[in-house]
Amino acid sequence: MRRILLGLVLSCAPLLGWAQDSGPVASLDRNRVGVGETVTLNIEVGDQTTGSPDLSPLTPDFVVLETSTNHTLSIVNGKRESRTILGIALRPRREGHLTIPPLTIAGQQTQPVTLDVVATANDRVPSADRPVSLEGTVEPNHAYVGQQIDYTLRLSFAVNLADGQLGDPSAEGAEVRRVGQDANYQVMRGGRRFNVVERHYAIFPQHAGTLEIQPPTFEGTAVDPSDMNSFFGGGEPVNAVAERVRVDVRARPASASEGAWIPARDLKLSLDGLPADGKARVGQPLTLTMRLDATGMPFEALPALSLPKLDGADVYPDKAVTGGGSSGSWITGRRQQSFAVVPTRDGTLHIPATTLHWWNVVTDKAEVATIPAHDVEVLPGAGGAVAPPPSAPAAAGTAASSASAPGVVPIKDTVSATTDTERLPWRTLFIVAVALWLLTMAAWFVLSRRGKREEALPTPGRTTTDGTSDRAARERFRAAVAGSDLAAIEHALLAWARVHRPSMRSLGVLAAALREGRQRDAIASLQQARFAGGSAPGTALRDAFADGFDWLPAESTGKSGTLPPLYPR
């Protein structure tokens, strides 16, 4: 039973870990703009967050142009995650280093975001006399192996485009990923208004040396709105090519610690689930959840999380939950690992500190993320042994010692005063009680043997104490199998089994009472689907029990009363 409880705790732990709605997160589509240009502030909130943010703190430094809402849906490790992104188009009122203050939405606040507004952005946008241009820039120009390089691609055009195709950059010896959504804004160049499409890519170099990023190309068709013929194949073809960009990639520094190489911009390591009062009980599992979040690293590159061996407890790790996203132009990776810690003895359970070495690419220094050590006071189990009552000699000794008190009659005098006539009824009643107990045991043995022989073959008309017939229970089981509710399938199967054998209280007991073969395998598949994330047995479970239960012979049942181990050693 303890292992079944443990499986339920482990299966629910990831859901509990991700069910907590995080606060709103603010980011900019660009961190540097020119005076007169627009920038988009994106606020990512959970689906449970409602309402609009208070934009009044933006008015001193920004002009709010328009707002938009975008809903996203993703599935990570079979778990549905939906987010809402609120887009706010802003135009800075002045140049300089501006800070977007925290905004309040649904009682929660975003973090402040900084923006650099320069006097002009001509150094980033090509000449104003070109109707279509393409530019690619990188940040940083020097990187480590495995570090994210932000490649920003900007398509500027001052003509009306009927169509167009924009390719992706490529780099030999590096992994290229597209990050986020395209940003659209307008800039003024030489008195001419340009539309700009900005796109970000994350490039992860795999080898040290010079990384050459091959630029993409753009091909499209420009049309003149005043010429009606241009909309019927008479447009002018336009194209643009960005320049090649080179990045100096350095090897892992010698001062970095051994182990996993994590060149990140930011990293957080946390452990949740410790009891608030610092106490636990023997046999009752604690669900500890360790989470690692890194900015500038994909979740595939993050190391596996683990707890050290604990003295006085068994540790059962659950399936890891991973996911990724973006913070502005930087990729974010996360890894979450849950552990069921079952204390095996009372006393102090010491959970040592957990450390993770990583390299901060912003400061270019080695850093250590640490989870401090914790001590948990483990109390005896709730079902622990109770102190036995005093034995007869001890009780007699206690009574004898009390005989010295005034007015108390000694025990020996009381016993000697008891006559044989007074003792005789008690002896007779004791003999009768023993005889009745023996007769009861014999009757129970005969009836149980007869009941087991009757259970060998299912009876269609058989009913339980609550009036459920075999046919009705069978139909309920078939209806449950046709659905996708695994708990309902388990309950229906056990209810059907209890029509024949009321002692069937769990799938483990039921499997032990069946012959080796399809039915045991089907039950194992059902348990795996419920507690380990396997696929539902569905048709296989229905076909395995199509002809009823394949019980073991009566003399073979009960030999194995324990559940199969959920975590074999």
Answer whether residue 427 is part of any domain: no
Answer whether residue 398 is part of any domain: no
Does one domain contain both 304 and 206? no
Query: What would the two tokens of residue 138 be?
Result: 């990188």
Percent of all residues in the chain with a pLDDT value above 90, rounded to a whole number: 32
Does one domain contain both 284 and 337? yes
Domain of 360, CATH number, reads 2.60.40
Answer whether residue 413 is part of any domain: no
pLDDT at residue 301, rounded to an integer: 92
d(CA 329, CA 296): 9
Answer whether residue 264 is part of any domain: yes
Answer whether residue 441 is part of any domain: no
Answer whether residue 391 is part of any domain: no
Q: Which domain covers residue 158, as residue numbers?
A: 125-251
Does one domain contain both 264 and 233? no
Average predicted confidence (pLDDT) for the chain:
78
> E strands, 372-529, where?
374-379
pLDDT at 448 over 80: no
Does one domain contain both 263 and 374? yes
Could you tell me the maximum CA-CA distance found in the chain, to the nearest angstrom?
Answer: 131
Last residue of a domain, one of 355, 379, 403: 379
pLDDT band at 488 (very low <50, low <70, confident <90, very high): confident
pLDDT at 414 over 60: no
* 66 class by beta-carbon count within 10 Å (0-12 exposed, 13-18 middle, 19+ buried): exposed
d(CA 116, CA 118): 6
pLDDT at 391 over 50: no
Q: What's the mean pLDDT in 429-445?
A: 78
pTM equals 0.50
Total domains in the chain come to 4
Last residue of a domain, one of 251, 282, 297: 251
Q: What's the mean pLDDT in 50-66?
A: 83
- Mind listing the pLDDT tens digit for each residue in 89-115? 888 888 889 999 999 887 888 999 999
Higher pLDDT, 506 or 246: 246
pLDDT band at 120 (very low <50, low <70, confident <90, very high): low
Does one domain contain both 171 and 245? yes
Range in 95-104, 169-178, 416-425 the model is least confident about: 416-425
> E strands, 260-353, where?
263-264, 266-272, 279-281, 286-295, 313-317, 321-327, 330-343, 347-351
Does one domain contain both 129 and 245? yes
Does one domain contain both 264 and 237? no
Does one domain contain both 110 and 51? yes
